[in-house]
């Protein structure tokens, strides 16, 4: 299945990335290129909405690690929404992204962003 | 009163003290005709107070439903032993321990293999041990080629204030602990 990647801005410095399809050895570059574009904007938070990402390969995991590394270097953050159970399990066993944050819904994410913004204003 | 031993819980408790230090991509050749498969290795380390410690290499390959691929990968990983590593790692090498992650929880669609390589001295030597010893050793043992190692940045330059407090407020910390063994 081909991969499409949508990105939307959800506030200053907050970008939602929504991969649609399979992130595998043939398609990961689509996500990689999109992320490179987004990282140039130096976002504070990148949110991966994984609801329509039906498959992720080790090359896809690598893109996520690369993103996390780039954000860590600029004090940015990476969070996930609607992570598929199989991918959750991989992260669980690996603890591959130690500070990974996963939200089950947009409401939960909004609460997080709200608290973060209030904290930043103090 | 006896408490039931939970291997998964014990594993996560041990792993909570490890720190991810790097990751590296690799391609392993599966057949003589050049058929290869890409994967990724997460590299973590744990230092002991006496200066020794171990590096954990977690090999991750998406195998889908391909049982033949799984068998091929298992066969290859069986060749990683203390005996095959020792000639490449020198006198600092102590021992190697493999962890059967499938015993803890099978993750459908993924092949995951973990090895822990113990060294007598590890502090400040991880880069040399990984890039000049361990990965070249594995390239000699396995028909694989590693890409340049991506070293993980050492912590945030500036921590966001009250981060832990924020997480507590929205009650996600417990969830993170459950998933990752640690909330930070």
Check CB contact under 8 Å for A111 and B180: no
Verify that B135 and B172 share a domain, yes or no: no
Q: Which residues of chain A have pLDDT under 70?
A: 92-101, 116-117, 119-122
Verify that B85 and B128 share a domain, yes or no: yes
Verify that B100 and B133 share a domain, yes or no: yes
Q: Which residues of chain B have pLDDT under 70?
A: 1-3, 7-9, 12-14, 16, 32-33, 102-105, 154-184
Verify that B99 and B173 share a domain, yes or no: no
Confidence check on the interface: ipTM exceeds 0.90, yes or no: no
CB pairs under 8 A between A and B: 102
Verify that B174 and B138 share a domain, yes or no: no
Q: Give, as one character, the DSSP assignment of residue A97.
A: S
Verify that B76 and B162 share a domain, yes or no: no
Q: Which candidate from B23, B60, B180 shows the least CB-CB separation from A95?
A: B180
pLDDT for position A93: 63
Q: Give, as one character, the DSSP assignment of residue A105.
A: S
pLDDT for position B173: 45
Question: Nearest to residue B76, comparing CAs of B107, B44, B113?
Answer: B113
Q: B43 φ, ψ to 5°? A: -120, 125
pLDDT for position A37: 96
* Cα distance between residue A11 and residue A120, in whole Å: 14
* Cα distance between residue B73 and residue B78, in whole Å: 9
Which residue, chain included where needed, has tokens 């410095």? A13
pLDDT for position B8: 67
Domain, as residue range, for B137: 7-152
Q: Could you tell me which chain A residue has the CA closest to the CA of B160?
A: A120
Verify that B80 and B162 share a domain, yes or no: no
B2 domain residue, yes or no: no
Verify that B176 and B148 share a domain, yes or no: no
**pTM (2 d.p.):** 0.78
Topology (CATH level 3) of domain A4-121: Transcription Regulator spoIIAA (3.30.750)
Check CB contact under 8 Å for B179 and A91: yes
Domain extent listing, chain A: 4-121
What is the CB-side half-sphere exposure of residue A55 using CA atoms within 13 A? 20
Q: How far is B8 from chain A (nearest CA, A)?
A: 9
Check CB contact under 8 Å for A112 and B162: no
Residues of A within 8 A of B161 (CB-CB) are: 119, 122
B1 domain residue, yes or no: no
Verify that B132 and B175 share a domain, yes or no: no
Check CB contact under 8 Å for B150 and A56: no
Domain count, chain B: 2
B121 domain residue, yes or no: yes
Verify that B115 and B176 share a domain, yes or no: no
């Amino acid at each position: 299945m081909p991969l499409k990647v949508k990105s939307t801005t959800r506030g200053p410095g907050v970008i939602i990335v929504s991969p649609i399809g399979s992130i595998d050895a043939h398609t990961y570059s689509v996500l990689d290129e999109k992320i490179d574009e987004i990282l140039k904007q130096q976002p504070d938070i990148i949110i991966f909405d994984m609801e329509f990402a039906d498959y992720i390969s080790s090359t896809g995991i690598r893109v996520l690690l690369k993103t996390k590394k780039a954000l860590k270097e600029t004090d940015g953050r990476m969070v996930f929404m609607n992570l598929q159970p199989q991918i959750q399990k991989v992260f669980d066993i690996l603890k591959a992204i130690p500070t990974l944050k996963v939200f089950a819904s947009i409401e939960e994410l909004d609460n997080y962003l709200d608290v973060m913004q209030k904290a930043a204003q103090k | 009163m006896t408490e039931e031993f939970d291997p998964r819980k014990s594993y996560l408790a041990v792993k909570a003290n490890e720190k991810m230090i790097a990751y590296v991509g690799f391609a392993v050749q599966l057949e003589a005709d050049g058929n290869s498969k890409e994967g990724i290795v997460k590299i973590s380390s744990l230092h002991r107070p006496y200066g020794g410690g171990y590096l954990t290499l977690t090999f991750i390959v998406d195998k889908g439903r391909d049982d033949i691929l799984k068998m091929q990968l298992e066969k290859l990983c069986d060749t990683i032993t203390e005996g095959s590593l020792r000639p490449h790692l020198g006198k600092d090498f102590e021992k190697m321990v493999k962890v059967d992650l499938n015993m803890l929880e099978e993750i459908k669609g993924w092949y995951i293999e973990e090895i822990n390589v113990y060294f007598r001295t590890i502090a400040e030597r991880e880069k040399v041990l990984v890039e000049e010893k361990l990965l070249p050793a594995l390239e000699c043992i396995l028909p694989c080629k590693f890409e340049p190692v991506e070293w993980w940045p050492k912590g945030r330059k500036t921590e966001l204030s009250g981060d832990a407090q924020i997480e507590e407020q929205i009650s996600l910390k417990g969830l993170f602990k459950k998933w990752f063994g640690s909330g930070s």
